[in-house]
């Protein structure tokens, strides 16, 4: 069993953050104050604090695409990833990189999607048919 990871980042609007992570992504809201809110994000603790958002640039080479760096995200089992992708499309989330497969037929084959939260924090969600292949290199 993996232990939970904690990530704390800034956002510009707590209410928009609560709606996006809670209603759109389906994360369970935890503690909150007027200046921060915690979420259970697939078993990991995300804390969002009011403040200036980290600068990102599209410098990450992913196949034929440049994606924002830095970014954070999750690795999900493929059925869970597919359900989330459908949920995001229904919510009309603007994708940086729409749901797609990469490394098809190779070790580490994965599905991915990139999008931003309302404050502009980039998120990548990966899906694997076999979670044992997350670190596959051959």
HEC string for 73-134: EEEEEHHHHHHHHHHHHHCCCCEEEEEEEECCCCCCCEEEEEEECCCCCEEEEEEECCHHHC
pLDDT of residue 68: 95
Residue 1 lies in a domain: no
Residue 13 has pLDDT above 70, yes or no: yes
Asked whether residue 124 falls in the same domain as residue 61, the answer is yes
What is the domain extent for residue 10? Answer: 6-50
pLDDT of residue 138: 61
Total domains in the chain come to 2
Asked whether residue 125 falls in the same domain as residue 73, the answer is yes
Instruction: Say which CATH number the domain at 36 has.
Output: 3.10.180.10
Compute the distance between CA of residue 52 and CA of residue 9 in angstroms, rounded to an integer.
Answer: 9
pLDDT of residue 108: 82
Compute the distance between CA of residue 66 and CA of residue 120 in angstroms, rounded to an integer.
Answer: 16
pTM tops 0.85: yes
pLDDT tens for each residue of 67-92 = 999 999 999 999 999 999 999 999 99
């Amino acid at each position: 069993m993996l232990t939970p990871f904690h990530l704390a980042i800034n956002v510009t609007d707590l209410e928009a953050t609560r709606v996006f992570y809670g209603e759109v992504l389906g994360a369970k809201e935890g503690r909150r104050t007027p200046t921060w809110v915690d979420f259970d994000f697939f078993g990991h603790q995300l804390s969002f604090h009011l403040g200036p958002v980290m600068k990102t640039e599209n410098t990450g080479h992913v196949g034929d695409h440049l994606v924002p760096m830095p970014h954070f995200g999750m690795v999900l089992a493929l059925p869970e990833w597919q359900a989330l992708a459908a949920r995001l499309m229904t919510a009309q989330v603007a994708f940086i990189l729409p749901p797609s497969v990469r490394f098809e037929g190779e070790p580490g084959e994965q599905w991915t999607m990139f999008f931003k939260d309302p404050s502009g924090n980039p998120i990548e969600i990966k899906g694997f048919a076999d979670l044992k292949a997350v670190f596959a290199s051959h």
